């Protein structure tokens, strides 16, 4: 009996061994392709090799936007590897809501790829990796870092979570900055870690760099002074635009309020908007130099032409034009220096109907400037109603049109260039672009010289003066339109200037929106801001003084 059992066990064992051997041979020979496919499906993956986005530099090579490597955490919900306990543990270290994470995984349970969190901090990544939870994987990506923060936010802009441009230069030059991802085939272990690179399919193509025209030194200076002034006057907002008088390059463009692009959660609607190119205002008396220019071009007016302004008021139809005081009889030069509404109105009505309008049109007040940034507004300037003396009168001192600080910069840049209209750009230029002559040179030079009187002690903006330099400019104070018409309590204070007057190096426009307090005019509010920024800018740019030293 025992012998029979022995032989039975030997026969069964031999049969099983033979069957196993046959099965191994069958699988290794007849079905090897299927097995390899199944093994590869579980361990071989195609991985994306993220491309590096191009760097944004200022004109001197200072980085304004760079890409830094970060880690993102993901899983494959279709495998069902993450239980409730694992989700709670990973949610704790990633600092996300565990209930929201569970719901996300439940809603996407048939998908093979879901992010648990993108762009983690280094500490979060290390903590998540230390948990060694099966099914939790990590992927390298890039995120943008902006070294200058809120100082350059409106010009440089931001990107979204996928590193695509959303605002500013990041959006305007997105195609140039964006690279193309590569790919490779890798062997992974059961935890998702890469064991070996098997094959490189396509190399990543890095994005190209962009060199902006901004000078970061001037940008910091302008932003500091504007922010201090906005706080001092309790203003709603403000903008400063500075352009190179020789090339049309934007050297500085700042706004308040601003935002920190490294913390997008801090951004809000007003802070995101680049008000220097999007917000339009009636420019007020900053238009008077162009009215004077039209008068000089007529040949009937000269700097010393006498203009009676008594008794300090002048009626045009139903419009009563007022000066703050009765200035008596003054010259055209003094009308610009004192910013006399009555004198400028009388000059405008003496000219041809289209004279002032044509000058404003030629310097670009009603056009799309095309500086190279998204969101730029077109100026509003129309020739409708020019037969009406009231329309011509208000246009002569800056009402009846709406322009951005960028338009005002373009107009004064044309004066600084002796009547040649230069294109404005936020990109660094290799040389001065070719401009278009729109004003006779001698007339433009004469107006710039006349505008020096505005910053003299007797002018409306002595605060815009810079010791050792001759400064040309013009103040502007416009009332804002409210529900019941023009509001006497809400103003825009403007100053547009050229420095130095003899050989212009830059043009700068300062706009303060709704300053509070006793002083709300362009001469008292915006003029001193210009003076402080210009003083620092002239020193940083190494511009030699052009003014005669004061007598001892």
The CATH code of the domain that includes 496 is 3.40.710.10
Question: How does 343-379 read in b/e, with b if 16+ C-beta sit within 10 Å?
Answer: bbbbbbeebebebbbbbbbbbbbbeebebbbbebbeb
Q: Is residue 399 in some structural domain?
A: yes
CA separation for the pair 438, 24 (Å, rounded): 90
Burial bucket for residue 331 (CB in 10 Å: 0-12, 13-18, 19+):
middle
Is-contact 471 465, C-beta < 8 A? yes
pLDDT band per the 50, 70, 90 thresholds, residue 35: very low
Same domain, 468 and 364: yes
Same domain, 104 and 153: yes
The tens digit of pLDDT for each residue in 375-407 reads 999 999 999 999 999 999 999 999 999 999 999
Same domain, 148 and 227: no
Q: Is residue 512 in some structural domain?
A: yes
Burial bucket for residue 293 (CB in 10 Å: 0-12, 13-18, 19+):
buried
Q: Is residue 255 in some structural domain?
A: yes
Of 85 and 448, the structure prediction assigns the larger pLDDT to 448
Same domain, 379 and 465: yes
pLDDT at 552: 36
Q: Is residue 140 in some structural domain?
A: yes
pLDDT at 551: 43
Q: Is residue 319 in some structural domain?
A: yes
Q: Is residue 478 in some structural domain?
A: yes
pLDDT at 49: 64
Domain range for 145 is 47-211
Q: Is residue 11 in some structural domain?
A: no
Which residue do the tokens 């923060």 mark? 149
CA separation for the pair 34, 421 (Å, rounded): 73
Closest CA relative to residue 54, chosen from 119, 121, 142: 142
Which range in 23-32, 443-452, 517-526 is most confidently predicted, on average pLDDT? 443-452
Of 369 and 550, the structure prediction assigns the larger pLDDT to 369
Overall domain count for the chain:
2
Same domain, 221 and 205: no
Catalytic residues: 285
H or E stretch at 477: strand 472-482
Residue 439: pLDDT over 90: yes
Structure tokens at 526: 């915006």
CA separation for the pair 170, 375 (Å, rounded): 13
Of 432 and 421, the structure prediction assigns the larger pLDDT to 421
Same domain, 205 and 222: no
The tens digit of pLDDT for each residue in 83-123 reads 788 878 888 888 888 888 888 888 887 787 888 888 787 88
CA separation for the pair 495, 240 (Å, rounded): 10
Which residue do the tokens 């990633």 mark? 94
pLDDT at 272: 83
Same domain, 254 and 371: yes
Average pLDDT on 255-268 reads 80
Same domain, 181 and 226: no
The tens digit of pLDDT for each residue in 166-177 reads 999 999 999 999
CA separation for the pair 525, 532 (Å, rounded): 12
Same domain, 294 and 344: yes
Sign of CA dihedral 206, 211, 214, 219: positive
Same domain, 475 and 331: yes
Same domain, 56 and 204: yes
Q: Is residue 474 in some structural domain?
A: yes
Domain boundary among 195, 211, 227: 211
The CATH code of the domain that includes 71 is 3.90.1310.10
Same domain, 340 and 400: yes
Strand ranges across the sheet with 44-49: 44-49, 182-188, 194-202
Average pLDDT on 27-42 reads 55
pLDDT at 109: 78
CA separation for the pair 252, 244 (Å, rounded): 9
């Amino acid at each position: 009996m025992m012998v029979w059992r022995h032989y039975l066990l030997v026969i069964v064992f031999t049969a099983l061994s033979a069957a196993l051997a046959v099965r191994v041979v069958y699988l290794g020979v007849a079905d090897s392709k299927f097995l390899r496919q199944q093994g590869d499906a579980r361990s071989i993956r195609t991985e994306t090799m993220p491309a590096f986005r191009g760097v944004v530099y200022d004109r001197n090579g200072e980085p304004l936007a760079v890409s830094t490597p970060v880690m993102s955490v993901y899983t494959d919900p279709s495998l069902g590897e993450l239980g409730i306990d694992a989700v709670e543990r990973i949610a704790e270290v990633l600092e996300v809501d565990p209930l929201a994470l569970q719901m996300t995984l439940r809603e996407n349970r048939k998908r093979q790829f879901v992010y648990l969190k993108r762009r983690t901090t280094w500490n979060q990544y290390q903590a998540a990796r230390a948990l060694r939870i099966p099914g939790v994987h990590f992927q390298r990506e890039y995120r943008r870092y902006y070294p200058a923060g809120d100082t350059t936010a409106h010009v440089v802009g931001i990107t979204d979570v996928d590193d695509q441009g959303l605002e500013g230069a990041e959006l305007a030059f997105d195609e140039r900055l964006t690279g193309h991802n590569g790919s490779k085939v890798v062997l992974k272990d059961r935890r998702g870690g890469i064991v070996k690179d098997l094959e490189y399919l396509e190399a990543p193509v890095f994005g190209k760099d962009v060199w902006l025209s901004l000078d970061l030194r001037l940008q910091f200076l302008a932003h500091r002074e504007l922010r201090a002034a906005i706080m001092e006057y309790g203003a709603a907002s403000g903008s400063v635009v500075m352009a190179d008088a020789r090339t049309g390059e934007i050297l500085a463009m700042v706004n308040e309020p601003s935002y920190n692009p490294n913390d997008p959660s801090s951004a809000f609607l007003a802070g995101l908007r680049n008000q220097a190119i999007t917000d339009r205002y009636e420019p007020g008396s900053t238009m008077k130099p162009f009215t004077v220019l039209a008068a000089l071009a007529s040949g009937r007016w000269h700097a010393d032409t006498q203009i009676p302004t008594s008794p300090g008021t002048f009626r045009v139809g139903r419009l009563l034009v007022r000066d703050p005081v009765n200035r008596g009889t003054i010259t055209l030069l003094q009308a610009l220096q004192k910013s006399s509404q009555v004198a400028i109105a009388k000059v405008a009505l003496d000219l041809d109907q289209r004279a002032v309008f044509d000058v404003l049109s030629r310097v670009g007040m009603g056009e799309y400037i095309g500086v190279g940034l998204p969101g730029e507004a077109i100026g509003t300037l129309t020739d409708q109603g020019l037969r009406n003396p009231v329309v011509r009168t208000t246009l002569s001192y800056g009402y009846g049109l709406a322009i951005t600080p960028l338009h005002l910069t373009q107009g004064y840049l044309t004066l600084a260039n002796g009547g040649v209209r230069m294109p404005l750009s936020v990109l660094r230029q290799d040389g001065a672009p070719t401009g278009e002559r729109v004003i006779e040179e001698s007339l433009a030079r004469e107006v710039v010289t006349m505008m020096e009187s505005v910053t003299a002690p007797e002018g409306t903006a002595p605060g815009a003066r810079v010791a050792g330099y001759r400064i040309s400019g013009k103040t502007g104070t416009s009332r804002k339109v409210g529900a019941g018409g023009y509001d006497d309590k809400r103003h825009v204070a403007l100053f547009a200037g050229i420095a130095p007057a003899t050989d212009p190096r830059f043009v700068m426009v300062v706009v303060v929106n709704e300053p509070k307090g006793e002083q709300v005019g362009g001469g008292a509010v915006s003029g001193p801001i210009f003076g402080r920024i210009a003083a620092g800018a002239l020193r940083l740019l190494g511009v030699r003084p052009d003014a005669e030293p004061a007598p001892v």
